[in-house]
């Protein structure tokens, strides 16, 4: 592909598969599509290989050997923990694909440490090394990579099928780009509402808004109340290390909390400041902790705090649908959405299939990024060969934040602040009540009308307005679904409905923009591709 045939972002006018997002899911999708013989490009909001939650952190993978019954036991346990909403067949497929992928990464040069007992590679990934390698693999596969080129909207044909996307190239003054494609894979991540969680400032839910604009359905949006624990002076929300924690009030009074306290810790935070100390870690474990997750300790080292011997203040950081579960529903073969030509992977997709209504944390979400990315890329390549996207009339589908209807709105920063006031506080989002949800929607619904009417770029399309619109939309989808689930299940806690209702063992599908509709859907369990 000649560079003379490309636009300002280095993207061609037409190709088989366009991947939006350059994190783990996006790079695995691009690799799978290229290996299937497709002509592929990847457009990333940041710099593929360095931006996003995975690149900034690191995690273990849901990684279990095929021998024995370990996988069956892990699937059964996750089914219980996730509220019986997962799909054991797709869970098994994700485990199998992740096992293969770790071998592929090792063959490509990732420096996995060997297990001391089995000699096999351990499924633990350091984000910077992992994503640096993924970028190299993608480029070597012939994929065109467009950095700093966020998508702003999808393109559809007369029948409503997705036939490409359009966006801007930041390094050329937000110069517009437009690409037609036989299929589009959304791997744009979840929405963390600019809460400050490490690596998540690119995760504002733009791709999900684009998907709903073309008619896609969402699922699991009520399971969006995940909060990570972080030191008050840092953004690192890796929770695994807190298994070694003891907790205290600010005056040093011990709190009777288990190490992985979850909601109990967060309720304590509502009553006053909480401090922690990792004093349950034995001396011989501390070195392994630092070696396995070095970035966890960076804020402590910078602050001059020894977390094993000194107490430090902790806070709860909203992680929304990044470590929550909700996203675009992918009921179709190969993680197809409910819209022709559109696929979703990683945190942009609902993770109910493999984790139900409980957080996938790093391990399950990491395995899902690999498996869903691979499945989506393969199927997108196969589908692209049968679609006539190159000759169809392309209609841009973007609305809120792109094409205001006419009216007045506050600026994007003020819109974001208004959303955060209703989403970030624990007492509104983590510990929910019908009254609190309705009060939040009484603020968010008029805010959406305002955004639809007047929020948009004054000159060339940008991304700040789109991000603000996506955050308002996410908050409304989350809270409408939360109102409809009148029980507590997995991470969704309704203080006015504290019990789990067996009759609500079902998923909730969410659709719509101006009018948000929520309907129950059966848990469909079918074979993964």
Are 216 and 231 within one domain? no
Of the three residues 284, 318, 352, the one that is the final residue of a domain is: 318
pLDDT tens digits, residue range 253-267? 999 998 788 899 999
Are 180 and 42 within one domain? yes
pLDDT tens digits, residue range 24-72? 999 999 999 999 999 999 999 999 999 898 988 877 899 999 999 999 9
Are 338 and 458 within one domain? no
Per DSSP, the three-state class of 240 is: helix
Domain that holds residue 432: 412-501
pLDDT tens digits, residue range 244-253? 999 999 999 9
- Count of domains in the chain? 3
* Res 117 pLDDT > 90: no
Distance CA 396, CA 414 (A): 27
Are 268 and 372 within one domain? no
Confidence of residue 290 (pLDDT cuts 50, 70, 90): confident
Helix (H) or strand (E) holding 476: helix 464-484
Of the three residues 351, 367, 396, the one that is the final residue of a domain is: 396
Of the three residues 348, 371, 396, the one that is the final residue of a domain is: 396
Confidence of residue 529 (pLDDT cuts 50, 70, 90): very low
Q: Output the pLDDT for position 431.
A: 98
pLDDT tens digits, residue range 164-188? 999 999 988 889 999 999 999 999 9
Q: What tokens were used for 144? A: 């065109």
Are 344 and 303 within one domain? no
Confidence of residue 120 (pLDDT cuts 50, 70, 90): low
Are 377 and 431 within one domain? no
Are 353 and 341 within one domain? yes
Asked, for residue 14, whether it belongs to a domain, the answer is yes
Single pTM value for the model: 0.94
Distance CA 33, CA 27 (A): 10
As a whole number, mean pLDDT of residues 505-521 equals: 97
CA nearest to 490, candidates 319, 362, 347, 352: 352
As a whole number, mean pLDDT of residues 213-226 equals: 97
Asked, for residue 307, whether it belongs to a domain, the answer is yes
Residue 259, judged by CB atoms within 10 A of its CB (0-12, 13-18, 19+), counts as middle
* Res 119 pLDDT > 60: no
Q: Output the pLDDT for position 458.
A: 67
Distance CA 457, CA 401 (A): 7
Asked, for residue 174, whether it belongs to a domain, the answer is yes
Asked, for residue 197, whether it belongs to a domain, the answer is yes
CATH number of the domain encompassing residue 452? 1.20.58.100
pLDDT tens digits, residue range 402-426? 999 988 888 999 999 999 999 999 9
Q: Output the pLDDT for position 7.
A: 59
Distance CA 366, CA 310 (A): 32
Q: Output the pLDDT for position 173.
A: 87
**% of residues, the chain, pLDDT over 70:** 95
Are 290 and 255 within one domain? yes
Asked, for residue 300, whether it belongs to a domain, the answer is yes
CATH number of the domain encompassing residue 273? 3.90.700.10
Q: Output the pLDDT for position 361.
A: 85
Are 307 and 186 within one domain? no
What count of Cα atoms within 13 Å lies in the side-chain half-sphere of residue 38? 33
As a whole number, mean pLDDT of residues 218-224 equals: 98
> How many Cβ atoms from other residues are within 10 Å of residue 442's Cβ?
10
Distance CA 111, CA 2 (A): 35
Helix (H) or strand (E) holding 372: helix 363-384
Asked, for residue 355, whether it belongs to a domain, the answer is yes
Look at 98-112, 356-370, 446-460 and tell me which has the smallest mean pLDDT. 446-460
Are 131 and 195 within one domain? yes
* Res 526 pLDDT > 60: no
As a whole number, mean pLDDT of residues 215-241 equals: 93
Q: What tokens were used for 513? A: 């923009």
Are 447 and 476 within one domain? yes
As a whole number, mean pLDDT of residues 458-487 equals: 92
Asked, for residue 358, whether it belongs to a domain, the answer is yes
Look at 217-221, 330-334, 458-462 and tell me which has the smallest mean pLDDT. 458-462
CATH number of the domain encompassing residue 46? 3.50.50.60
Helix (H) or strand (E) holding 134: helix 127-140
* Res 284 pLDDT > 90: no
Buried-state track 393-417, b at ≥16 Cβ within 10 A, e below 16 = ebebbbbbbbebeeeebbebeebbe
Asked, for residue 115, whether it belongs to a domain, the answer is no
Decide: 218 and 51 in contact? Cβ < 8 Å: no
Are 220 and 251 within one domain? no
Helical ranges in 6-126 per DSSP H = 24-35, 53-56, 70-81, 88-107
């Amino acid at each position: 592909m000649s560079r003379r045939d490309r636009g300002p972002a280095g993207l061609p006018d037409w190709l088989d598969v366009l991947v939006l997002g350059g994190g783990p899911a996006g790079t695995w999708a691009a690799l799978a599509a290229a290996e299937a013989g497709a002509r592929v490009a990847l457009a990333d909001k940041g710099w593929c290989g360095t931006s996003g939650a995975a690149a900034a952190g690191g995690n273990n993978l849901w990684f279990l050997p095929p021998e024995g019954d370990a996988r069956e036991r892990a699937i059964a346990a996750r089914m219980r923990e996730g509220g019986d909403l997962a799909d054991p067949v797709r869970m098994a497929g994700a485990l199998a694909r992740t096992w293969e992928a770790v071998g592929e990464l090792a063959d490509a040069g990732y420096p996995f440490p060997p297990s001391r007992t089995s000699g096999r590679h351990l499924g633990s990934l350091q984000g910077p090394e992992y994503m640096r390698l993924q970028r190299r693999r993608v480029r070597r596969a012939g994929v065109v990579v467009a950095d700093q080129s966020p998508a702003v909207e999808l393109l559809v044909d007369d029948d409503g099928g997705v036939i490409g996307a359009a966006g801007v190239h930041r390094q050329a003054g937000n110069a517009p780009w437009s690409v037609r494609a036989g299929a589009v894979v959304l791997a744009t991540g979840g929405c963390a509402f600019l809460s400050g969680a490490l690596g998540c400032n690119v995760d504002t839910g733009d791709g999900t808004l684009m998907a709903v604009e073309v008619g896609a359905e969402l699922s699991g949006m009520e399971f969006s109340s995940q909060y990570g624990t972080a030191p008050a002076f840092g953004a690192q929300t890796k929770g695994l290390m807190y298994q070694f924690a003891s907790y205290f009030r600010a005056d040093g009074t011990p709190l009777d909390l288990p190490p992985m306290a979850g909601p109990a810790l967060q309720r304590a935070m509502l009553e006053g400041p909480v401090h922690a100390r990792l004093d349950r870690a034995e001396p011989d474990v501390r070195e392994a902790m630092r070696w396995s997750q070095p970035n966890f300790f960076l804020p402590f080292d910078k602050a001059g705090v020894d977390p094993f011997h000194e107490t430090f203040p902790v806070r709860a950081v909203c992680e929304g649908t990044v470590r929550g579960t909700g996203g675009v529903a992918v009921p179709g073969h190969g993680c197809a959405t409910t819209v022709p030509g559109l696929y979703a992977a990683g945190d942009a997709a609902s993770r109910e299939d493999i984790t139900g209504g409980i957080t996938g944390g790093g391990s399950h979400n990491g395995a899902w990024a690999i498996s869903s990315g691979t499945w989506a890329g393969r199927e997108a390549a196969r589908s692209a060969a049968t679609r006539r996207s190159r000759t169809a009339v392309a209609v841009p589908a973007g609305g809120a934040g792109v094409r205001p209807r006419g009216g007045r709105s506050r600026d994007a920063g003020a819109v974001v602040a208004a959303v955060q006031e209703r989403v970030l506080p624990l007492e509104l989002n983590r510990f929910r009540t019908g009254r609190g949800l309705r009060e939040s929607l009484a603020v968010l619904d008029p805010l959406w009308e305002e955004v639809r009417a007047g929020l948009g770029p004054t000159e060339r399309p940008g991304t700040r307005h789109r991000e603000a619109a996506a955050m308002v939309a996410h908050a409304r989808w989350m809270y409408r679904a939360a109102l409809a689930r009148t029980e507590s299940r997995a991470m969704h806690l309704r203080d006015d409905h504290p019990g789990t209702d067996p009759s609500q063992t079902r998923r909730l599908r969410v659709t719509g923009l101006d009018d948000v509709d929520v309907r129950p859907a059966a848990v469909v369990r079918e074979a993964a591709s």
